[in-house]
Amino acid sequence: MTDLSLAVVLPLCLLSGIILGYLYFCALRHTADLIVNQGHPLLSIALTLGRLAVLAGGFFLAVQAGAAALLTTLAGVLIAKALLLYQTRRIDA
């Protein structure tokens, strides 16, 4: 890959990782709420399989662009996790 393509690919991977992480951790929160509130078990299973499939698909697309893109996508997912944890702690406080 050339420097120009990395300059375009890496920010896109970071943004994609943040979106993937936001979707993943929102679905995880919804799944936990379903389990705690004794919601429908099939919905919990479907949400779990769906969020894992979306995350795996996103990482698969990122790995097609190389290791740097994969690590940047992972960084985006971790940023989304930190932001959602911060938001949750602010609401609970």
Using 50, 70 and 90 to split pLDDT, how confident is the model at 6? confident
Contact indicator for 13, 74 with CB cutoff of 8 Å: no
User: Tokens in use for 33?
Assistant: 């709420």
Give residue 39's pLDDT: 83
Residue 39's φ and ψ, nearest 5 degrees, are: -75, -175
pTM for the model stands at 0.88
pLDDT digits (tens, 9 = 90+) for 35-88: 999 888 899 999 999 999 999 999 999 999 999 999 999 999 999 999 999 998
pLDDT band at 18 (very low <50, low <70, confident <90, very high): very high
With CA atoms as reference, report the closest residue to 83 among 6, 31, 7, 19: 19
pLDDT of 77 = 98
Query: Cα–chain-centroid distance for residue 43?
Result: 19
